[in-house]
Amino acid sequence: MNATPLAAEAICALLAVSASHVALEVVAETGSTNADLLARVPSAAAGAAALRGPLLRVAEVQTAGRGRAGRSWLSAPGASLTFSVAWPFRAPLHRMVGLPLAVGVAIAETLGGLGLPVQLKWPNDVLKDGAKLAGILVETQAAPDGTIWAVVGCGMNLLMPDELEAAIGRDVSSAPWLAQMDRNALLAQLLNRLCAVLAEFDDTGFAAFTERWNALQAWRGQPVRLLDQGAIQQEGLAAGVDEQGRLLLDTPAGRVAVLSGDVSLRLAP
């Protein structure tokens, strides 16, 4: 792992125009960068610490990282990249459904440009060699002025120590090649693409990203199952997503569209 410590000044020096207006915070340790930023969405409770514009918060160590559906995100010091970006949107709340998928496109395209081909698993996972490399958690909150703030969290495995893999208890992936990069340069590249995608999403919604997501889809044409707390809710062949970000499944009864919820997508046996 590259030992270069994360530093706001080093990241800032590498930002493109799309991300130049984003404030940066680097902390040694926190519970959850997503929780930190959600607590600062403008409100009476947020007070003087309230967000005033887009903000990246990255932690060397997260002790209470969270994934979708309340799951824990486990990481080890120096082995992961964990960060969150708070971003204000003009778009109405109902149009935010496809945001995790658009974020996935930003991350996958960035990694592909760095020579690491990955695929996207609906609705919020980045896969390498069929196993999870990174997870995305998007949480939204409305401010009193009607602005919708989205906090976009990402946890990415760079290295996978044996003890961490054992604690996770399922197949996961890592990216030793990326672990050799200066992490400030890696984070700057991710932020550059992510900010461009967030701005585009605010203008267009998910429709502009549909083809890009489908081109990166994992398991396309393969039989999959949707599980809710272990119970099978739907089965079919994965057929991409529609312009709202709904998963399309080809079933014996025809094509169905599934809106994201607290369900898990798995390959069928």
Model-level pTM greater than 0.85? yes
pLDDT of residue 92: 82
CA distance 135 to 121: 10
- Count other C-beta atoms under 10 Å from residue 238's C-beta: 22
CA distance 38 to 87: 11
pLDDT of residue 233: 87
Question: Which residues contact residue 26 at a Cβ distance below 8 angstroms, ignoring those fewer than 6 apart?
Answer: 6, 7, 8, 11, 58, 59, 60
Read off the pLDDT of residues 67-115 as tens digits, 9 standing for 90 and up: 544 555 555 566 789 999 999 998 788 889 899 999 999 999 999 999 9
CA 197 to chain centre: 12
Torsion sign over Cα 207, 52, 191, 263? negative
pLDDT of residue 123: 92
Residue 257 has φ and ψ, to the nearest 5°, of -115, 135
CA-CA-CA-CA dihedral for 34, 89, 264, 163, to nearest 10:
-30
pLDDT of residue 94: 83
Q: How do the pLDDT tens digits run along the chain, 269 residues long? A: 445 789 999 999 999 999 999 999 999 999 999 999 999 999 878 888 899 999 999 998 888 766 544 555 555 566 789 999 999 998 788 889 899 999 999 999 999 999 999 999 999 999 999 989 999 999 999 999 999 999 999 999 888 655 555 454 456 677 887 888 899 999 999 999 999 999 999 999 999 999 999 999 999 999 999 988 788 889 999 999 999 999 999 999 999 999 866 678 888 87
**All domains of the chain in start order, with CATH:** 8-215 (3.30.930.10), 223-267 (2.30.30.100)
